Structure 1
Amino acid sequence: MTRTPDILCIGSVLWDVIGRSENAMRQGSDMPGRITRLPGGVALNIGMALARFGLTPALLSAVGRDAEGDELIAACTLRGLITDHVYRSDDLPTDRYMAVEGSNGLIAAIADAHSLEAAGDKILRPLEDGSLPAPYKGAVALDGNLTVELLASMAQSPLLAEADLRVAPASPGKALRLTPFLKAGRGTLYVNLEEAGLLCQASFDDSPTAARALLARGARRAVVTDGGNPATVGQGNDIITLTPPSVHVARVTGAGDTFMAAHVAAELGGAVAQPALKAALDAAALYVSGETKI
């Protein structure tokens, strides 16, 4: 029997290939370290974190009907995620993400999410064919690895008109893909300081200023992070800002997804603005320090 999800996670589900060195790195560095392959992608990272917080997420994404895809689906199921609604393509390979990290943070990364983009609105079929209730009235975590056209359609779609939308850009390079949600005043936008600047066509020195600017440009609600500096949640005239715990940085890939998942889980559990933000910052700090299992 298919389980009933607590939240839908829509977006990238792929393999993360991460090279990490304990040394500081720069362009051209050749350092000893460790290379790992783990289930990843923004939607999946959020889903796995939500599952660790006791929720039951369902994935809406595209995964190839290849050996890597079969292995990935099995890994997702093992981690407590519902994969029944994932679009399995016969002719598109399973997507991948590759990153290099040093002790000084992310050095470089490439996201190969072309299969997700090529699948397009096929990933939303479960909302159209009755497999999932529509209009969907629950929480939805959505990432910016989808095409601009599909994201723009989703911002106006009656299928999601009553959903509690939580939207993240996936990376600064895809921040502008969130513009339809900004214009429509839909959802909660989860961005870092750089992504906020791109959406507002400005530069910001701190998260409160960035959050206010996003609200002024039409955002219904904005959550802005800035690494180890204060993070802000803004809605209407309410601005809440907290400083994250100071920790040793052991990894960075997936930290923003963990923050978002913890914030969503806290709010779905009934936490109000300040406690929810604190819970998210604490969870992200544990993840960055390497103390949270993946």
Structure 2
Amino acid sequence: MPHIVVLGIFVADTTFRATRMPRMGETILGDGFALGPGGKGSNQAVAAGRAGADVRFISRIGRDTFGDMAMQVWRDAGVGTDAVIRGEDATGAAFIYVDSASGDNAIIVAPGAAGKLTPADIEAEADLIAGAAVFVTQLEQPMDVALSGLRIARAGGAITLLNPAPAATLPEGMLELCDYVTPNETEAEALSGVAVTDIDSARAAGDALLEKGVGRAALLTLGAQGSLFHSAEQSIHIPAMSAGPVVETTGAGDAFNGGFAAALAEGADPVTAARFACAVASLSVTRPGAAASMPTRAEVEALLAR
């Protein structure tokens, strides 16, 4: 099977559930706490692996307890780790606040060791990247590192997928290296200048992203509204699927990206791949955690077959 390469970070997610965020200087009692694996790139690699893809991950982690957690998570999901560098810097961590009532979240990420990835680290994996069917990256590691990966992947003929999260100003020409870009509403507005509030405004943002150089399509993730696949040829709204009560939305975007990459690597047409991705994401929000919430291939196929 053609392989997927994901470039990104791993962090240990420290998740606190409460009825509201505390004000500065205030202490409140929470409803729950969990420690688990996270980081957008790692989550996406795990999602793709559980969806049946052959996945290799590129990152940096520490020789510490959180780094050991990462290696175990990747082994369990079948994610290849030959391109993961282990050093003396501490593995990163994230603070995640989850609203007890809605399941919505707010996050602070400290990348730790992965924040010290360099373009030289990426160039050392040029053969792996260039030989991929699909290359995926985000913006939690340094920008020049993501840019290096996209350049190598494009030169090698891999399908390139950028999840522009967290929202940031991109270097000139970066979108032109991307076959697909997968922003949420906030990220789409930051990149396009169009406030995304409904399907029509999502299409306007998609047009702007195509004009800025995105090669094949913009896939805007729209939370409870599902997603929008928007290319020069077609614009298709893909509703979210009902997989059960929403427990937590952490990792839903990562589930979508991992599922989309997995389906593309298998040769699915992009709209079919986007529907597969929606199924992965719809299942992920029915359970707590980020990497821990990623469904198996059998679960995704069962949902799609309903």
For this structure pair, what is the TM-score category when the shorter chain's length is used for normalisation? 0.7 to 0.9
Instruction: Give 1:176's aligned amino acid.
Output: T
Instruction: Give 2:146's aligned amino acid.
Output: L
Return closer, same or farther for 1:256/1:63 CA change in 2, 3 Å cut-off: same
**Alpha-carbon separation, structure 1, partners of 2:73 and 2:227:** 32
Q: Please, what TM-score do these two structures have when normalized by structure 1? A: 0.85
Aligned residue among 196, 199, 223 for 2:191? 199
CA contact (8 A) 2:61 2:84 kept: yes
**Alpha-carbon separation, structure 2, partners of 1:157 and 1:272:** 24
Where does the alignment leave 5 or more consecutive residues of structure 1 unmatched?
A: none
1:223 maps to 219
State the identity as a percent.
Answer: 23
1:181 maps to 174
CA contact (8 A) 2:129 2:156 kept: no
Question: What is the 5 A alignment of 1:75-154?
Answer: 75-90=73-88, 92-102=89-99, 103-128=101-126, 132-133=127-128, 135-154=130-149
Aligned residue among 266, 269, 274 for 2:271? 274
How far off is 1:215 after superposition?
0.9
**Alpha-carbon separation, structure 1, partners of 2:269 and 2:155:** 24
2:47 maps to 49
**Alpha-carbon separation, structure 2, partners of 1:168 and 1:138:** 17
CA contact (8 A) 1:86 1:123 kept: no
**Alpha-carbon separation, structure 2, partners of 1:14 and 1:192:** 21
Instruction: Give 2:258's aligned amino acid.
Output: A
Instruction: Give 1:181's aligned amino acid.
Output: M
Structure number with higher relative contact order (C-alpha < 8 Å, ≥ 6 residues apart) = 2
Deviations 1:200-259 (A, max 9, x none): 123233322221221122211211011112421122232121221355321111110001
CA contact (8 A) 1:208 1:241 kept: no
CA RMSD of aligned residues (A): 2.6
Count of residue pairs brought into register by the alignment: 282
Return closer, same or farther for 1:125/1:78 CA change in 2, 3 Å cut-off: farther
SS of the equivalent of 1:95 reads: strand
**Alpha-carbon separation, structure 2, partners of 1:248 and 1:71:** 29
SS of the equivalent of 2:82 reads: coil
Instruction: Give 1:217's aligned amino acid.
Output: K
Deviations 1:265-286 (A, max 9, x none): 2233333343322222222111
**Alpha-carbon separation, structure 1, partners of 2:129 and 2:138:** 20
CA contact (8 A) 2:130 2:152 kept: no
SS of the equivalent of 2:9 reads: coil
Return closer, same or farther for 1:259/1:159 CA change in 2, 3 Å cut-off: closer
Return closer, same or farther for 1:123/1:250 CA change in 2, 3 Å cut-off: farther
Deviates more, 1:134-143 or 1:43-52: 134-143
